[in-house]
Chain A
Amino acid sequence: MQRYSIFSLIKNAFSNHENWDVAWKDPEPKKEYDVVIVGGGGHGLATAYYLAKEHSITNVAILEKGWIGGGNVGRNTTILRSNYMWDANGLFYEYGMKLWENLSQELNYNVMYSPRGVINLAHSDAQLNTFARRGNSMRLNGIDAVMLNREELKKMIPFADFSSARFPIFGGLMQPRGGTARHDAVAWGYARGADSMGVDIIQHCEVTGFNVQNGKIQGVQTTRGNIKTKKIGLCVAGNTSLLAAKLDMKLPIESHVLQACVSEPVKPFLDHVVTFGAGHFYCSQSDKGEMVMGGDLDGYNSYAQRGNLPTLQHVLSEGLAMFPNISRLKMLRTWGGIMDMSMDGSPIIDKTHIEGVYLNCGWCYGGFKATPVSGWTFAYTIAQDRLHELNSKFKLNRFNTGHLIDEKGTATKVWLG
């Protein structure tokens, strides 16, 4: 792998940048692999990377039906955090934060990890108390968290509505190490790293079926031919139910579209990630200067990577309730991503009843920040054929045993999806 650095950049400048290698190759699929990862998104690429790096399994293919990084890793709001209440989530995502902290150096690719602080605003004492429950749980798990009062917040986000808000700001919970990263760079960095260790990244290769014999996986059928393998990992958040259906599996998952948008770029004024507690709005300002904003689901099953305006209207009204100064900024770009909405809001990283088939899904809104730790634990599970302590609670059968991990307390009502 050609190393990236300021020196290589300068050196290449003098040859007009004509000597850079490809970041990853474009191989033809082989007949057989030790492990096949379906889905060239963040999680799939990270899984392949850690299979090679941590478990020395390099005869690996990533099969991607489109172009790598084109799914949710490239259509999120780039937020990283581990501010979870339940241990299963908190410890898992905290391990992820530790991976994030070193990721640029590990991958030799600047993923722009920016620990600018994630602030959750509270709009009542009752909400502050539920935040305290979460924040205290974080602290007892060794995760950073601080409570902020109104005066402290006024210094950090003076342009927020502290005077005439319908739901006044009472305070907030902040995870100082939370922040953002450059989403595309994460996918590309993992791709480059995996490729350099021998992983085949095969784009425009759609999985059309599976060969299962006697309860064991034998291989996959693809638009570019059949590929033999004994182990296959599914990392296709958004479309998991569709692939699972090809394995005759039904999952506790619905696919929903989550929209996000950015404003035109402006000079920096917002230095943190801030979420609005009297709604679902969250935003940060990218290094380019764009306000990156997101909120709530459109609210009905969807496989369309686009949403409708009333949801954005609703979300942006929450934005103006929090930051009334952004009213005169202009919304530049909108997009949608398809979420695997699991029934308790937490992910599934598990083996399945088919030997050699491993499942990584159910990320809801939170998949991006999980990219490193999801890949790390999934690689472990595939390589060792067992769950790691970190993903031991993310079992599929928790929906049968009742060991649910419901952060928000809003889990399934049958008629609310």
Chain B
Amino acid sequence: MSQLYRLNKDGYINRDKKISFVFNGKKYFGYEGDTLASALLANGVHLIGRSYKYHRPRGLFGAGVDEPNAKVQLYRGTETEPNANVTEVELVEGLVAKSQNCWPSVYFDFGAINNFLNKFFPAGFYYKTFMWPKNFWYKVYEPIIRKIAGLGVAPLTPDKDRYEHKYEHCDVLVVGSGPSGLGSALSAGKNGARVILAEDKPRFGGSLLTDEVTIGNKKGNEWANEVILQLKSMPNVTVKNRSQVFGYYDHNMMVMFERTKDHVENPKKFTPRQRLWYIRAKEIIISTGSIERPLVFANNDRPGILLASAAKEYMKVYGVLVGNKPIIFTNNDSAYETAIEFKKNGINPIIVDTRESSDNSVVKEAKNLNIEIKFSCGLANTRGYRRVNLATIGKFNSDKSGYEKLENISCDCVCVSGNWTPTIHLSSQSGNKLKYNDALNAFIPNQQKQNETTIGSAKGSMTLKQSLEEGFSKGFELSNKITNNNLKNTAPTSNERNYGQHDKFWCMPLPKKKNYKRFVDFQNDVAVSDIELAIREGFRSIEHIKRYTTLGMATDQGKTSNLNGLQLVSNIERKIVPEVGHTTFRPPYTPVTIGTIVGREVGKHYRPTRKSPMHEWHEKNNAVFVDAGLWLRPRYYKQEKETLLEASTREAINVRKNVGVCDVTSLGKIDIKGPDSAEFLNRVYTNAWMKLPIGKARYGVMLREDGIVFDDGTTTRIAENHYHMTTTTAQAVNVLAHLEYYLQVVWSELNVNVVSTTEQWAGAALAGPNSRNLLSKLFPENDVSNENFPFMGYMESELFGVPARIFRISFSGELAYEINVQSSYGIFMWEKIIELGQEMNIEPYGTEALSTLRIEMGHVAGSEIDGRTISYDLSLEGMLSKKKDFIGKRSLIREAFTNPKREKIVGLIPLDQKTMIPEGSHLVKDGNATLPNPKLGHVSASCWSAEYNNPFSLAILQDGKNKIGEKLFAVSPLKNRNIAVEVVSSHYVDPKGERVRS
């Protein structure tokens, strides 16, 4: 199909390169440099989608990020994107787009029934109904409403694209490349500052791309082009297009996304789709320009009705006519530019101006071109379902409350202009409290809060001359604060048409006895009557009105609607706009792809994976891994078709019978040095540390200041003033910060240093009756007899030439040792252990067997030290020193902590000796009692005892101390279990702890 509305001149598109695309199943052509919007318009397509609530036909309204209507479902290869803004989608070969929120098609949409019933759906109607019968909201009404709502369709498969992040610093960040932005970037750059210039659109220049102006002796667009080339040649300046600065965060942290892929026809494999820039700038120049405001009138939402500035942009940038029979409807001079542009292209527009007259130069020029102008008129209504085809023009009565006479004029587009709204989003996000400018009828920035400076039309300086002057002078001034180079540049002279004051009249009266919708927010279908209703019902704060009517809450975030809404409220309430106030501007300025915000932390890279140096060995030996914090640890080593329970029981039995080896690298390790180390440990742990001899280890428990158990582990005295502390895997990071806090903040008088050595040591635990025999094979030159190397002993040696630390400590309750070597020798150590252990039937064991071993020994771990238990509960009260003070001790005397009936750790055995008690079960007197059934305690850990070949569990039980021997029920309603159990001691195996000392 040919591009009927394409002019044969003008625009920055590449007419040599034709691009095909598909919209709603039909193939069209555009040119390289088109947006999807301009290409559709070139083909005469205005109807793009349906509105949110009433499913009214909607077309293109703007040409940029302010577009409220034209959102489509986009398909590129295998990926799809909902709610793509057609004014921002650059045309590439093979693009497929579809209208959304309509069924079966955008031309005929069943949802449009809502439009005929719109009388029954005013603002907030859903709060007033759907309440009967009670369950129908969730079962009937809500599912229907959910289906009707929503716009596009979310992909249901993972995004294959890649997103990247970049961190950057600069002296001056300039946001927006219109005349003021270009001027300031050039001026700051020439003064030696490190400058980043960011432009949201593919093309630099802003209004210079469309305005008939001259700067120096050049046309505006040529000047912009030259400045950009100049900036690009400067090593201290970075120029970025397709880059939207969307957030102004604390301490001048600006965040920007750059579109790097979707506009490229054949992107390279690893090209990221978008890049997120975190930019810390010393000075921020906000030259974001302004957005044209719509006028509000009956049926102002039809396809073909659009902003005058957008119509001009389509002509000037893309060489596209938005129609052949245009009506320009305005309350100000700027829209005359659009009319003149039409005229130049051989089209005869009619201007409808709400003002009585205007004689500024641009108006005179229009008159000279014989353009028909109807002053003191407004659009009273429009017609045309899928595209506007008729406008009812009304001559105002004297107070503009109605029309003296109406006249129908056929048309195929209406270009509206209700004056300009400065884009103050970033300025406001910086903390700047905005002020109202009466001349503009808009908010502009006020007192600076951070290092932000707003210039040009974003600040309300609406002429080119002002914009250039502000740009050049602020660019110099702000850069000079940093560089002190004093290289001043002054703004070039410029020439532009003059505009006068706009008419502060923007909401047209309805024709007599008519109830047409006059839309303020197009996408969310918020009409004047909705705002009137909200106020009538007492929703008077602007935030209430926004929430009740959903004004400004659509995907365009009210860029074209917010101010009109405010003005309407101020009119109804007879207040001035600043008294009504405005809703808060928050990031993001435009919607940001979630993948872009996240970057590369996706899939397996969501968080780092920590692996021990022996990881590959575990993999080769069929280890099944478990996440332990960021670490991957072998849970069990699977043989043939074993289940988890079979494998872990096998491994645990082998430890009890022979010897096993377990990778304990992930345990936290902290090196402690300094003359006050013993004193420090004495304060940190609940037990005594002053007399620990060199070469000995000791088990310790630490509390939080609130008395709750924080962590446990062993600490070994390696030398006079040198200790090696171990922590649990889970708390390693927190314990280090905890120690640093006390050493630096609380007890700075202590001369102690701590440093994490977790990654420096690979650890292997040998456990089982054969472990000493194996140790002697590993260290043939050392005497590892019980006498020479007793329980809690420590020695340093060499493992076949590799320096090693050997600890005689045990978590399994068996005779056990832990060997540490430098990480890089971890695999060497491990393989030696396996090799020499063969004759003793060594088997590696994982965390599940480890868990079994510790449970039946009654050793506590993470499932008991759960941040809610105190030493007493865990039967660790014997380790609370009475002689000294320590962290958290003072909290232990509180009422709840000294209650003699407090919880206590106990063991449980099912009466049938067979049924495993699910972890997370609760203990009750009567498993079948009525609810709520009082709980006496809970099952914290369960295992199949390797020693006794029956189930055994640990539980934390109220008054557990006095309940040994009692029969209770362990219930798990979730699993429908009710198991009769006997309460026994938590030390099920080797209660006297003889094995570890044997």
A positions within 8 Å CB-CB of B: 4-6, 8-10, 13-14, 16-18, 20-26, 66-67, 69-70, 74, 87, 91, 101-102, 104-105, 108-110, 112-116, 123-126, 128-137, 139-142, 145-147, 158-159, 161, 164-167, 179, 182, 184-185, 188-189, 203, 263-269, 278, 285, 287-289, 305-306, 308-309, 312-313, 316-321, 324-335, 400-404, 406, 408-415
Contact = CB atoms under 8 A, between A and B. Distances in A.
Given A126-B862, A140-B924, A267 B147 contact: yes
B601 A145 contact: no
Contacts of A335: 586
A406 B974 contact: no
Contact of B706 (A21, A113, A328, A412): A412
A265 B602 contact: no
B920 A136 contact: yes
Nearest to A397: B895
B918 A22 contact: no
A320 B602 contact: yes
7 contacts: A5-B128, A23-B538, A23-B539, A132-B920, A308-B253, A327-B163, A409-B868
Would you list the 3 A-B pairs with minimal beta carbon distance, nearest first?
A409-B867, A132-B920, A289-B150
A359 B326 CA distance: 65
Contacts of B595: 320, 327-328
Nearest to A201: B538
A130 B865 CA distance: 13
A411 B706 contact: yes
Contacts of A320: 594-595, 598, 601-602, 606
A265 B79 contact: no
B580 to A, nearest CB: 12
A401 B156 contact: no
A67 B541 contact: yes
B861 to A, nearest CB: 10
A267 B127 contact: no
Nearest to B939: A133
Given A9-B125, A126-B863, A331-B594, A136 B922 contact: yes
Given A265-B151, A331-B591, 13 more contacts: A23-B537, A114-B142, A158-B156, A164-B604, A179-B138, A264-B83, A285-B146, A288-B149, A320-B598, A320-B602, A333-B553, A333-B586, A334-B587
Contact of A16 (B126, B137, B515, B920): B515
Identify which of B147, B592, B745 gathers the most chain A CB atoms within 10 Å of its CB. B592
A266 B152 contact: yes
B119 interface: yes
Interface string B737-780: 11001000100000000000000000000000000000000000
A348 to B, nearest CB: 16
A112 B606 contact: no
Contact of B126 (A101, A112, A188): A112
Nearest to A403: B896
Nearest to A86: B868
A374 B881 CA distance: 43
B259 interface: no
A129 B149 contact: no
A328 B79 contact: yes
B543 A312 contact: no
Contacts of B975: 132, 147
A383 to B, nearest CB: 26
A325 to B, nearest CB: 5
B704 A413 contact: yes
Contacts of B588: 331-332, 334
Contacts of A408: 867
B172 to A, nearest CB: 21
B127 A4 contact: yes
B866 A317 contact: no
A326 B529 contact: no
B81 interface: yes
B164 to A, nearest CB: 13
B606 A333 contact: no
Given A132-B972, A413-B705, A329 B150 contact: no
Interface residues of B, number: 119
Contacts of B120: 9-10, 13
Contact of A328 (B155, B603, B737): B155
A290 B130 CA distance: 21
A128 B626 CA distance: 13
B949 interface: no
B255 A309 contact: yes
Contacts of B146: 268, 285, 287, 289
A330 B592 contact: yes
A241 to B, nearest CB: 20
A27 B921 CA distance: 55
A175 B813 CA distance: 40
A412 B704 contact: yes
Interface in B109-153: 119-120, 122, 125-132, 134, 137-138, 142, 145-147, 149-153
A218 B533 CA distance: 40
B137 A136 contact: no
Contacts of A305: 584
B287 to A, nearest CB: 22
A70 B544 CA distance: 8
Contact of B149 (A22, A112, A289, A402): A289
A271 to B, nearest CB: 9
A67 B542 CA distance: 9
Identify which of B584, B706, B897 gathers the most chain A CB atoms within 10 Å of its CB. B706
A189 B971 CA distance: 41
B346 interface: no
B538 A9 contact: no
Given A324-B602, A331-B592, A109 B127 contact: yes
B932 A330 contact: no
A162 to B, nearest CB: 11
Contact of B974 (A25, A135, A142, A412): A135
A327 B594 contact: yes
A379 to B, nearest CB: 24
A147 B536 CA distance: 49
Contacts of B607: 166-167, 278
A413 B741 CA distance: 11
A161 B154 contact: no
A413 B709 CA distance: 11
B895 A142 contact: no
Contacts of B609: 166
A335 B429 CA distance: 12
B327 interface: no
B891 A133 contact: no
Contacts of B992: none
Nearest to B635: A125
B586 A132 contact: no
Given A109-B127, A124-B627, A140-B932, A313 B138 contact: no
B557 interface: yes
B247 interface: yes
A166 B603 contact: yes
B914 to A, nearest CB: 20
Given A140-B935, A309-B597, A402-B897, A167 B627 contact: yes
B933 interface: yes
A414 B152 contact: no
A313 B862 contact: no
B603 A164 contact: yes
Nearest to A400: B894
B798 interface: no
B173 to A, nearest CB: 16
Contacts of B235: none
Nearest to A102: B134
B359 interface: no
A325 B533 contact: no
B1 interface: no
Given A126-B863, A328-B155, A287 B605 contact: no
B658 interface: no
Contacts of B543: 67, 70, 74
A166 B159 contact: no
A328 B80 contact: yes
